[in-house]
Amino acid sequence: MKYKKLLTWVFALAVIGAGIFLNWFFASMKPEPPRVPPAEYKRLVQTRIVSYDNTVSNVNIPGRLVSGRIVEVISEVQGEILPGSVPLKKGQSFRKGELLCTIYDQEQMLNLKASKSRFLNALANSLADIKFDYPDDFNTILTFFESIEIDKPLPEIPEITDKSLKVFLASRDILNQFYTIKVAEERLQKHYKYAPFNGTFMEVLLETGAIANSGSRIARIIKTDVLELEVPVEVSSLKFIHSGSAVKIADETGEHRWIGKVTRISGFVDPATQSVSVFVEINNDPINPVYAGMFLSANFNSKTIINSMEIPRQAVFNQNEVFVVENNTLFKKKIRILKVNQNTLVFDGLAEGEMLVVEPLINVREGTLVETNILQD
């Protein structure tokens, strides 16, 4: 029995071995297919032929519109805030000279009238002595006395050249009372807040009816008839911008346009942006208005750069290096950058006729084989 099982296993192994042998034998008789070498891959790059000309380059930079003036309205006296000629509300517009608000003034006004009354009494009591002792100055003092009105500002006291008359008026406390009234009149004016320009309430901190203390912030106002566009300009482009020069300004769509003027150029570099702020003044037009906070684009006067070429900024790496193609091989070369724009730059430093790569190449080394697609200017 065991002998029969052994023969069965031997026979099965023999059949399997014969099958493997025959499979190898017939496979070895087939001719080996020819081997095709792998195709060499060449990257396609966009290039332009270096050719220099006179490049007319614009400095076109976006910026944010800000008010030409921002003023804090602060109370210099204490009292209730009373209405002015315009509502004391955020967003309310006003014209130059309009009364923005009043700080309760009745007490100050009555004290001022009482002081004027005492002054008139002292001066009236002195007129007889002045007529007798200083007849040459009597008419002048009398005219001044008659011009004083309780409800109107005190007129200026006549110039007194007679020293003895000065001593007389001082001894009667007339000069002291006159200047005390002048101080009170100036203090009364602090109860009224007038608009220093055409503008808008940007923020209202104390509304009508609130009590203001000396030093309290009432509101913040901005000038709206003249605004400024703050434009961050790279240092390399500052040589193309000058104070007083005209600037073309447009919104994001290009549908609305304005003309501005460079009023000042900052004397320092912003460490965050590495740029210098240029301020462009815009006169607000009611037909085509602008508003503080808008983002607009400033197009400064065009400049012509002789013997230069303009390419995309993305074509340059390591600050001043580019790829050129020679015999379908990439090589690095350095250029001299003459002007940097928002999306392009102007350069020279390469020989005319060289094939310059004008697209960014990522993970590509010098010596890489490429195919070129030459773009036309």
Per-residue pLDDT tens digits for 320-348: 999 999 999 999 999 999 888 778 889 99
Tally of residues, the chain: 377
Q: How far apart are CA 37 and CA 35, in angstroms?
A: 6
Percent over 90 (pLDDT), the chain: 53
- For 59-66+224-302, which CATH class? mainly beta
Within 10 angstroms of residue 260's Cβ, the number of other Cβ atoms is 24
Select the more confidently predicted residue: 252 or 357: 357
Q: How far apart are CA 309 and CA 346, in angstroms?
A: 5
Q: How far apart are CA 14 and CA 8, in angstroms?
A: 10
149, with CB counted inside 10 A (0-12, 13-18, 19+), is exposed
Q: In which element (H, E) is residue 337 found?
A: strand 336-340
Please compute, for residue 56, the number of CA atoms within 13 A of its CA located in the half-sphere on the CB side.
2
CB contact at 8 A, 223 and 197: yes
Domain boundaries in the chain? 1-28, 45-57+305-374, 59-66+224-302, 71-100+197-222, 107-189
> Mean of the pLDDT values across residues 73-89?
94
Helical spans, DSSP H, in 308-377: none
For the cut 80, the answer to whether the pLDDT of residue 96 exceeds it is yes
For the cut 60, the answer to whether the pLDDT of residue 156 exceeds it is yes
Q: In which element (H, E) is residue 233 found?
A: strand 226-234
Q: Which residue has the tokens 């020069």?
A: 245
- For 71-100+197-222, which CATH class? mainly beta
Q: In which element (H, E) is residue 203 found?
A: strand 199-204
For the cut 80, the answer to whether the pLDDT of residue 62 exceeds it is yes
Residue 45 φ then ψ, to 5°:
-125, 150
CATH code reported for the domain at 45-57+305-374: 2.40.420.20
pLDDT for 110-151, tens place per residue? 999 999 999 999 999 999 988 988 888 899 999 999 999 998
Paired sense of beta strands 217-223 and 70-74, if any: antiparallel
Select the more confidently predicted residue: 46 or 14: 46
Among 32-41, 76-85, 121-130, 256-265, which stretch is predicted with the lowest mean pLDDT?
32-41
Nearest CA-CA partner of 330 in 308, 298, 359: 359
